[in-house]
A and B are shown apart, each in its own frame.
Chain A
Amino acid sequence: MMNRFFGGRLALLVIMLISLWGAQVEAAISPLEQVRTTVTGIIGVMQSKDLAKPDKKIARREKIMAYVTQRFDFEEMSKQTLAAKWRDLSPDQRKEFIRLFSELLKNTYIGRVEAYSDEEILFDKELFDGDQQTRAMVYTKVVKNNQEIPINYKLMVKNDEWFVYDVMIEGVSLIRNYRTEFARVLNQERYAGLIKRLQDKVDKRESAKN
């Protein structure tokens, strides 16, 4: 009798906990799944025979860009890269910086994914930053020529969706690297010099494509 009573209570508790947990999970698709969707999406485009035709070059690139733009938070990336300097910029300057920097980041990141599009990609695990669960790290590995290259994504939640704000390739953070590089340029050539250099990089890339 007692056992049945407690058994019933326990079952109820378990159901309650599961539904609570379920509600939390429903609030946002897991960061790992969102990274997986983006990465496999990009690789799908890259491996598509139809899109590989020369006349589809622009369509192909646009498709890849769409995947990246959907999952990457370029404003957050710009903010963190410029650090203190970000506060001194006017809204227009910020917009301009985000535009140029996201172009550079897309090219860098896509170049990497492109180089590994034939290789096996393992989606290892995800970790959250304690109880708040507003930031996460997704661990992936590219298996290439008897080497496992770790590529980890840092994500933050915004409106129940996860967005990438940093990519770490072999333990090297994309944002950290650029922060150091930009700090050096800002110190020597001011903000105008940085914008000019960014513009040059993007232009060079554009002309190389055409």
Chain B
Amino acid sequence: MTLAFSSICRPSGGTRAVVGALLVAVLMNGMLTTPVRAEEAAEPPIAATAMVESADAAVDVVDPFAEENLTDPGPLNGHVADPLEPVNRVFFAFNDKLYFWVLKPVSKGYALVVPKVVRECAGNFFFNLKTPVRLVNTALQAKFNRSGVELARFAVNTTVGGVGLWDPARSWLKLSPSDEDFGQTLGKYGVGEGLYLCWPVFGPANLRDSLGLAGDYFLDPVSYLYLNHQNEAALEIRSGETVNRTSLRLGDYEAFKEASFDPYSAMRDSYTQSRRSKINDEPDK
């Protein structure tokens, strides 16, 4: 039910160019004025989170085993710092409308015209293009086996896989990609989440992951079209990618909304849990 946020809210919206610079500026400013350390982030800043905390504490009586007893660390217990909730809720509502009024109808029309096989190939192509993000971040986390796999995948898929349109590295060689980004790398190095943010267009993030997104931006080849003053081309590619991805995950966000009582907080909690579990994954495999 929580798959939705990664489909519609993963950052790669068309207006990234404009927001990109703004984002960095805002973040730097935010980081300087409010130094957020991991310990501080763990403190509940507002009363609303105390309720969640007490629920967790009470459960410890009923549920003494949980994830700790398994080898897999799983998501950490803890709450989410969300002092900007009123603003975040406005942007969440904005993104919701953006999905239902613009992204969904466009993606649906696109899906009617373009066969699924073609859309999947397009998805593979974009995914292959983002190899630098995964390569650099596996290396930064000292997951060198995974970096090797990324290199091998890129070599195979770019050549035999027809410039990345197909994924023979997975289907024939059983080489699966890693899910790594700069936000996770920062998390591995001990950078705290800071506070939760819901960006317009980009969707759920936190202070750390927003910085991560800015970092990943420079590892995405499409970003360099901007340097060549091919702003329009870059914007088209980004929009195309978003529509293509959404067309393959239509219904996910609807299902997520249907399953939750308060979609805003459900997405905030899902996002946080998901990110924590990704950061705490196995060191190298």
Contact B277 A171 (CB under 8 A): yes
Contact among A115, A147, A176, A185 with B261 in the assembled complex (CB-CB below 8 Å) = A185
Given contacts A83-B63, A148-B179, 4 further A-B contacts (CB under 8 A): A83-B55, A146-B177, A149-B3, A171-B75
> With A and B bound together, what is the CA distance between A104 and B52 in angstroms?
21
Interface hit among A39-47, A51-59, A105-113: A105-113
* Chain A nearest CB, measured from B169 CB (Å): 10
> With A and B bound together, what is the CA distance between A148 and B171 in angstroms?
13
B120 at the A interface (CB under 8 A): yes
* Chain B nearest CB, measured from A98 CB (Å): 15
22 A–B contacts, CB within 8 A, in A order: A79-B62, A80-B62, A83-B63, A84-B58, A111-B255, A115-B251, A115-B255, A128-B70, A137-B72, A145-B123, A146-B127, A148-B179, A169-B2, A171-B274, A171-B277, A173-B75, A174-B1, A176-B269, A179-B59, A183-B54, A183-B55, A184-B52
> With A and B bound together, what is the CA distance between A172 and B275 in angstroms?
9
Contact B62 A171 (CB under 8 A): no
Please provide the chain B residues from 229 to 285 with a CB less than 8 Å away from any CB of chain A in the complex: 248-249, 251-252, 255, 258-262, 265-266, 269-270, 273-274, 276-278
> With A and B bound together, what is the CA distance between A28 and B70 in angstroms?
19
A181 at the B interface (CB under 8 A): yes
With known contacts A183-B52, A185-B261, A177–B270 Cβ distance under 8 A? yes
> With A and B bound together, what is the CA distance between A79 and B123 in angstroms?
42
B102 at the A interface (CB under 8 A): no
Residues of A within 8 A of B249 (CB): 145
> With A and B bound together, what is the CA distance between A182 and B266 in angstroms?
11
Question: Interface of A with B (CB < 8 Å)?
Answer: 79-80, 83-84, 86, 104, 107-108, 111-112, 115, 127-130, 135, 137, 139, 143, 145-149, 152, 168-174, 176-177, 179-185, 187, 197, 201, 204-205
Contact B252 A115 (CB under 8 A): yes
Closest partner residue, chain B, to A176 (CB atom)? B273
Question: Interface of B with A (CB < 8 Å)?
Answer: 1-3, 6, 51-52, 54-56, 58-59, 61-63, 65, 69-72, 74-75, 120, 123-124, 127, 167, 170, 176-177, 179, 248-249, 251-252, 255, 258-262, 265-266, 269-270, 273-274, 276-278
Contact among B2, B72, B248, B260 with A170 in the assembled complex (CB-CB below 8 Å) = B2
Contact B70 A137 (CB under 8 A): yes
Contact B1 A169 (CB under 8 A): yes
Contact among B55, B65, B261 with A135 in the assembled complex (CB-CB below 8 Å) = B65
Contact B62 A86 (CB under 8 A): yes
* Chain B nearest CB, measured from A209 CB (Å): 12
Contact among A143, A169, A176 with B3 in the assembled complex (CB-CB below 8 Å) = A169
Give 6 closest A-B pairs by Cβ, nearest first: A171-B277, A84-B58, A183-B55, A129-B69, A83-B59, A172-B2
Interface centre among A145, A201, A204 (most CB of B within 10 A): A145
With known contacts A129-B70, A170-B6, A184-B262, A84–B248 Cβ distance under 8 A? no
* Chain B nearest CB, measured from A80 CB (Å): 5
With known contacts A129-B70, A170-B274, A180-B52, A146–B123 Cβ distance under 8 A? yes
Closest partner residue, chain A, to B53 (CB atom)? A183
Contact B262 A171 (CB under 8 A): no
* Chain B nearest CB, measured from A179 CB (Å): 6
Contact B276 A111 (CB under 8 A): no
Contact A83 B255 (CB under 8 A): no
